[in-house]
């Protein structure tokens, strides 16, 4: 029932002065036209809420993954008839923000980015950890971002596919129509570049 489309910019000035109740109740009744209007009205809000939560946790992500969370959330709302359980149907924006934030947190936990991507900064030689295990300083993330910019487009794409999207070397090879050996070689070279970049930066500190 959900068409795949890019979210629209959320603008409260475009909201219906009568509130959301009529639109929500039409959606609950299974009206396809109302559901399309619902997506247009709230897509930007949900997209913004997801990105805000991911950024708050310093979670490295691909834009396509944000869109995937966004699409899955709207699909779940429709298929599970979640709107029927909303108490304040005159203003459902707060409910949607909570829903989107929870979806983003589930994504972070599922992918294990705090353990998977940020911890790679230490493997690459990104410097000191915070005193609490598993918690990394924002400076580490900033330095890693700088190091990523030193990579070629191919190196960056392969490394992000591996460490951010969680794809295996075989999947990356199929995605980019190349050999597994090439993928392994490019990723190893990218990691070496990042480690070298970070080590040089740390020596200057």
Q: What is the pLDDT of residue 130?
A: 41
Q: What is the pLDDT of residue 155?
A: 87
Q: What is the pLDDT of residue 23?
A: 94
- Phi, psi at 73, each rounded to 5°: -65, -45
- List the one residue out of 179, 186, 162, 194 whose CA is nearest residue 62: 162
Instruction: Tell me how many degrees the CA angle 165-169-65 measures, rounded to the nearest 5.
Output: 15
Which tokens belong to 114? 């705090």
Helix count (H) and strand count (E) of the chain? 10, 0
| Contact of 38 with 5, CB cutoff 8 Å | no
Q: What is the pLDDT of residue 133?
A: 36
Angstrom distance (rounded) from CA 165 to CA 174: 14
- List the one residue out of 171, 10, 189, 192 whose CA is nearest residue 100: 10
Predicted TM-score of the model (pTM): 0.51
pLDDT tens for the chain, 205 residues long, are: 455 555 554 443 344 445 799 999 999 999 999 999 999 999 999 999 998 888 876 666 777 888 889 999 999 999 999 999 998 899 899 999 999 988 988 887 776 654 455 455 545 544 444 443 333 444 566 777 788 788 888 888 888 777 766 778 998 888 888 899 999 999 889 888 888 887 787 776 5
Q: What is the pLDDT of residue 197?
A: 83
Burial class (CB within 10 angstroms; exposed 0-12, middle 13-18, buried 19+) of 30:
exposed
Angstrom distance (rounded) from CA 119 to CA 114: 7
Any idea of the CA torsion for 98, 99, 101, 107, to the nearest 10 degrees? 160
Collect all residues with Cβ–Cβ distance below 8 Å to 198 and sequence separation of at least 6: 121, 124, 125, 126, 127, 143, 144, 147
DSSP state of 63: H
Q: What is the pLDDT of residue 136?
A: 41
Q: What is the pLDDT of residue 134?
A: 37
Domains in the chain (CATH in brackets) are 12-111 (1.10.1740.10), 116-204 (1.10.10.10)
């Amino acid at each position: 029932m959900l068409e795949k489309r890019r979210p629209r910019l959320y603008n409260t000035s475009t909201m219906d002065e009568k509130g959301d109740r009529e639109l929500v109740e039409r959606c609950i009744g299974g009206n396809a036209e109302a559901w399309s209007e619902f997506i247009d009205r709230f897509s930007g809000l949900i997209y913004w809420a997801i990105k805000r939560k991911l950024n708050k946790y310093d979670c490295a992500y691909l834009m396509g993954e944000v869109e995937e969370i966004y699409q899955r959330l709207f699909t779940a709302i429709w298929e599970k008839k979640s709107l029927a359980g909303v108490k304040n149907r005159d203003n459902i924006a707060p409910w949607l923000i909570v829903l989107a934030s929870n979806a983003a947190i589930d994504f972070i936990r599922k992918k294990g980015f705090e353990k998977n991507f940020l911890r790679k900064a230490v493997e690459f030689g990104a410097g000191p950890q915070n005193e609490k295990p598993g918690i990394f300083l924002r400076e580490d993330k900033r330095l890693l971002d700088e190091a990523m910019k030193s990579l070629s487009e191919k190196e960056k794409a392969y490394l992000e596919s591996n460490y951010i999207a969680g794809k295996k070397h075989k999947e990356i090879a199929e995605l980019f129509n190349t050999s597994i050996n090439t993928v392994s070689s490019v990723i190893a070279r990218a990691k070496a570049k990042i480690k070298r970049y970070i080590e040089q930066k740390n020596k200057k500190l």
